[in-house]
Structure 1
């Protein structure tokens, strides 16, 4: 049974919205929500075959420079686009928010845009900065040490542990170390990162105690530091690259309070998402990561809360009233993640075929679950990427990890591009 979708009580004229990338699952879900609301969606992305190309809801696609390899060129492209065409809202659905926050005062008079100050964005974007913020606010996180060298890391690790670089998206820069072999492998990768003679230790590295439990995510929209929309979901089944294949919405008043505290401290403006662990020992949630953006908003939408609509209103300078709670117990899934996850866990062609059949027939574990990423009935073109992924995995199931990494491309940041954007001489207005 399909859950009821969010219905906004705030009726507005269709807006012209520019999405700053079109290759992430978050962007693809936002496109569906915007399209169903009647908004005019345009997308810029460096890949000519990104998800956004396969949607009837995208009015125009703009191929742009890579933000990772050429952040100044990407910014110039967006500025020219804003000058040449009218847009009501610029929606930084992924890490483009880092770049736009850096130059937000120069964009503010050209387009609606909801972002906090660059300093506060950097705090939320950095795993080290977020950990220090949690310490300052007295909010729960796993026991954590911040290290600056290989020797410090070796001294800090107590198995099992989690090692994290200061910056990373989609589980990049995260290692689960359970023994000496895992640790040596993590150190080789850390030292092999071409950042400086110190590798990843050119920035700080986190070492956290491993907490057994279930991963959940909280999504929020803020208006000038005040929380106006909140949704949380639990991972039921994992996909590839740390993503969720099956989710279920949950009610988490305690997490709502924690996220509200974070947003208030950072005077947050726009979207913010926080990952946390519900520990097996039933203690308080342990906060483990922060994404200064809206992550896969369809779960909230299908649970009755349209966070994208709230974000558009905040971007236009409105001050919306706080939205009601989303419904708990709404189960959703991403078929593409389910197939990639099946293959990544060593699934054979037969296993992948069986997973395809379960998805098509709505058999367990997909009974009473709604598809998030590929809304075929409303947007038939969206079936093309899913079909291609299914065929690819049936031919070469062992290539699942390589296929999943294709989504971690030129539309994302790396440490070098982050330093370039943050440098004093990056932008002259």
Structure 2
């Protein structure tokens, strides 16, 4: 069935990949975003772009804009592709009855969004994670830190609010930044550093039951904590843990976790949670379309469980590969070499499929990819600035979360 779908933002890589899956299925796709140059806008599958207020700076304005858009009767499904789900779960009763969306209750969403809440949930379920302390003062942080370690703010996605601390000078710098932002008062996670491979598992849940699953490991890093090359993997332990988490939270919709595979080959150690499906093209290319059952769940259907995705399918994100090359000190010569290998699908990109900007499927994807390559060739140092652009006004911060949680937040709308 051809559906009219509104995406809650268009800046994230997850939104861009969801657009591809939706477009290939023949759905009518529109997006809204505070940036007129957002990544997902450059797709031939997007029928219309709506320039909206930023969730971070004006959550009430953003909500009012979305509700007005939904009241027009133009959409069947609202698809939260990033942190906007936190807002929609908070005001679920304000979304028009004829517009369908898959969301858990607000308390469950808040637990999954909060790093501190997720850590406590893992303890409650006796699921494995690195040794972790939650502290709320500088003195407690310094006492808990066993170098090397990882520091995480209670709230922070897209790799924001994370410090990998190797020595005392890095610890001092992290403490200064935490004090300056006021994040210590919300609680900071002090976590043992564990050597291993980072992997991610994604699931789609229907009222607490896992109906779709996919896992992949990082083969090469990109910029800002992202992946440049992935490979799908079979992880029954990760599947079982994700299923337990979703069942406990009575989850409804997409849910993803990050975990470490220690070098010793022990069980996965859970390190993060994202209350959404993250970058769904890896699963799609491995034979598991997570977006279609997510739409069905949004419509109130109870889909059958999907078969396992194929292990060993390698995918690439060309933009992340170029950003990662530049961010890790690559010269113009190395960037040109990376461009050549990406075009020829050779070297590390041999036998990989493009998931973020699949130009052969969607020619407009060439626009942001070419612009990124040209900008980095002109100034490789621009990689860090471009990576930070993914942390824009479409996301939440401490202040916007506090405003949304206020009892009178939606009263004036």
Residue 412 of structure 2 corresponds to residue 425 of structure 1: no
CA separation in 1, counterparts of 2:319 and 2:360?
Answer: 16
Match of 1:9 in 2: none
Match of 1:308 among 291, 295, 320: 291
Q: CA RMSD in A?
A: 0.8
Match of 1:392 among 357, 363, 375: 375
Match of 2:397 in 1: 414
CA separation in 1, counterparts of 2:88 and 2:369?
Answer: 31
Equivalent positions of 1:315-334 (< 5 A) are 315-334=298-317
Q: 1:68 deviation in Å?
A: 0.4
Match of 1:35 in 2: 23
Contact 2:71 2:96 (8 Å CA) reproduced:
no
Cα deviation 1:254-284 (Å, max 9, x = unaligned): 1110000000000000000000000011111
CA separation in 2, counterparts of 1:179 and 1:379?
Answer: 46
CA separation in 2, counterparts of 1:209 and 1:277?
Answer: 12
Match of 2:94 in 1: 106
Match of 1:285 among 246, 268, 274: 268
Match of 2:82 in 1: 94
- Which structure 2 segments of 5+ residues have no match? none
1:108–1:136 distance in 2 versus 1, CA, 3 Å: farther
State the SS of the aligned residue for 2:36: coil
CA separation in 1, counterparts of 2:139 and 2:79?
Answer: 42
Match of 1:182 among 170, 178, 184: 170
State the SS of the aligned residue for 2:82: coil
Contact 2:2 2:26 (8 Å CA) reproduced:
yes
Q: 1:188 deviation in Å?
A: 1.2
Q: 1:226 deviation in Å?
A: 0.3
Q: 1:52 deviation in Å?
A: 2.1
Match of 2:188 in 1: 205
Contact 2:70 2:96 (8 Å CA) reproduced:
no
Contact 2:201 2:215 (8 Å CA) reproduced:
yes
CA separation in 1, counterparts of 2:406 and 2:293?
Answer: 32
Cα deviation 1:159-215 (Å, max 9, x = unaligned): 11000001111211000111101101101111111xxxxx11120100000010000
Match of 2:200 among 206, 214, 217: 217
Residue 358 of structure 2 corresponds to residue 375 of structure 1: yes
Match of 2:227 in 1: 244
Match of 1:366 in 2: 349
Cα deviation 1:112-131 (Å, max 9, x = unaligned): 10000000100000000000
CA separation in 1, counterparts of 2:108 and 2:157?
Answer: 18
1:314–1:108 distance in 2 versus 1, CA, 3 Å: farther
Cα deviation 1:360-392 (Å, max 9, x = unaligned): 001110010000011111211110001000000
Larger deviation: 48-57 or 284-293?
48-57
Cα deviation 1:37-96 (Å, max 9, x = unaligned): 000000000001111221110011100000100000000000000111421100000000
Contact 2:78 2:101 (8 Å CA) reproduced:
yes
CA separation in 1, counterparts of 2:372 and 2:217?
Answer: 25
Larger deviation: 85-94 or 385-394?
85-94
CA separation in 2, counterparts of 1:420 and 1:14?
Answer: 37
Match of 1:134 among 119, 122, 139: 122
The normalised TM-score by structure 2 is 0.99
CA separation in 2, counterparts of 1:54 and 1:214?
Answer: 32
The normalised TM-score by structure 1 is 0.95
Q: 1:108 deviation in Å?
A: 5.7
